[in-house]
């Protein structure tokens, strides 16, 4: 039995000469640690000391809200819960929502008090409601941090109040923010609200980038003497979302300015596109010892790629598969790799998988493939 091998080379464009993109160096950032990533691909565009554990101040409250969002999703708490305010919560210093000891506050109001007003009092009340105590809630925070791969993180409290060992990194904060945006979009939407009134007191969102840049829709500020002025921000432009983290700047103005620098650089010099859909055949490969002579190969997950802006036409896609693919196969089995190249560099790699089950053929057909492969190897 003679078969022909079908090699299907996918390419957006195949230039005669490899094109190496020229991108200016990232801006100088006045902070002790900073990071810029694409939210969809997690590609790092700019980083400096991104994995260094540092005191996060109120950036901690991103995890406080994340835990609350998770508990809401599990049905263990409700937005309508009336949360009692303890003496400990009422006495918290720093930024406040101004809740009063001995009263009860609707949980949804507490969430806004934390997200918009950065209330330390609200954070403690929420932690006590969910965990029973702030210490127990901190254990829950650390559990979620571990599940998210936040390896440079340890939480001692729900507020970011200075405490021995309480630390996280710019990279870990980007992981947390990305998870918040993708898993709990309704909760994340609150981060774009510019003010919140509780009782007779109306306070503005502390993230002033919401006023400076209409594409910014989050996330959180932080400040202590040890942490400096910090800001996690995210912006969405033309379908591309970036997350920036700036830690250890010298002022409120500086954390906004440096965050703007990072976001502007990322949007100006990079773009993100969805190039190939999951489950769509990209190649029909020759199959040996199977009931069918060919198997469809594609991607288990859609290919979303970040690359230098203006170089879409220079991307080259290659499908790399072994010379011999044998049955049986199950849908999802890895059989090769998709590689996207820009110049001499690869910008994306993903496994090619079988898109359907492929049963093994009977002995007569299998014997024919065996003979064919035997003589092919002799002639190679």
* Active site (catalytic) residues: 58, 61, 118
- DSSP 8-state symbol, 113: H
- Any residues with CB less than 8 A from the CB of 185 and at least 6 apart, and which? none
Alpha-carbon torsion, ordered 75, 76, 81, 86, to 10 deg: -160
Q: Rounded to a whole number, what is the largest CA-CA distance in the chain?
A: 87
Measured N-to-C along each axis, helices 61-73 and 107-115 cross at an angle, to the nearest 10 degrees, of 150
- Any residues with CB less than 8 A from the CB of 277 and at least 6 apart, and which? 299, 302
Say how far apart CA 373 and CA 64 lie, in whole Å.
Answer: 60
Q: Which of 229, 205, 29 is nearest to 112 (CA)?
A: 205
- Any residues with CB less than 8 A from the CB of 314 and at least 6 apart, and which? 12, 13, 15, 19, 21, 342, 343
Per DSSP, the three-state class of 285 is strand
Q: Which of 344, 356, 334, 348 is nearest to 279 (CA)?
A: 356
Distances (CA, A) of 311 to 270, 302, 306, 314: 9, 20, 11, 5
Beta carbons of 293 and 286 less than 8 angstroms apart: yes
């Amino acid at each position: 039995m003679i078969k022909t091998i079908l090699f299907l080379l996918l390419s957006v464009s195949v230039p005669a000469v490899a094109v190496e993109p020229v991108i200016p160096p990232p801006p100088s950032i006045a902070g002790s640690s900073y990071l810029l990533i694409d939210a969809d691909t997690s590609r790092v565009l700019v980083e400096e000391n991104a994995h260094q554990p540092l005191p996060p101040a109120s950036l901690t409250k991103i995890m406080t809200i994340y835990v609350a969002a998770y508990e809401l999703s599990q049905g263990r708490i409700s937005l309508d819960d009336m949360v009692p305010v303890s003496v400990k919560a009422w006495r918290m210093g720093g930024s406040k929502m101004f809740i009063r000891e001995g009263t009860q506050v609707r949980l949804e109001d507490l969430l806004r008090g934390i997200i918009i007003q950065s209330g330390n009092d609200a954070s403690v009340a929420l932690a006590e409601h969910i965990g029973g105590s702030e210490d127990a809630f901190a254990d829950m925070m650390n559990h979620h941090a571990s599940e998210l791969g936040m390896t440079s993180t340890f939480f001692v409290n729900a507020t970011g109040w200075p405490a021995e060992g309480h630390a996280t990194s710019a990279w870990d904060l980007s992981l947390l923010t990305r998870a918040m945006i993708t898993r709990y979009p309704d909760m994340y939407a609150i981060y774009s609200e510019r003010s919140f009134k509780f009782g007779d007191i109306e306070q503005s969102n502390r993230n002033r980038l919401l006023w400076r840049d209409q594409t910014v829709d989050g996330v959180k500020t932080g400040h202590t003497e040890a942490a400096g002025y910090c800001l996690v921000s995210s912006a969405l432009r033309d379908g591309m979302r970036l997350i920036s983290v700036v830690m250890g700047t010298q002022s409120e103005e500086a954390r906004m300015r440096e965050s703007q620098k990072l976001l502007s650089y990322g949007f100006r010099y990079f773009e993100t596109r969805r190039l190939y859909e999951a489950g769509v055949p990209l190649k029909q490969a020759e199959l040996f010892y199977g009931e069918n002579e060919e198997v469809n190969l594609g991607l288990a997950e859609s290919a979303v790629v970040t690359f230098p802006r203006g170089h879409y036409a220079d991307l080259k896609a290659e499908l790399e598969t072994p010379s011999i693919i044998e049955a049986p196969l199950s849908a999802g089995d890895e059989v090769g790799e998709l590689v996207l190249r820009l110049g001499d560099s690869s910008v994306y790699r993903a496994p090619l998988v079988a898109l359907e089950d492929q049963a093994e053929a009977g002995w007569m057909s299998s014997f024919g493939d065996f003979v064919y492969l035997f003589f092919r190897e002799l002639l190679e």
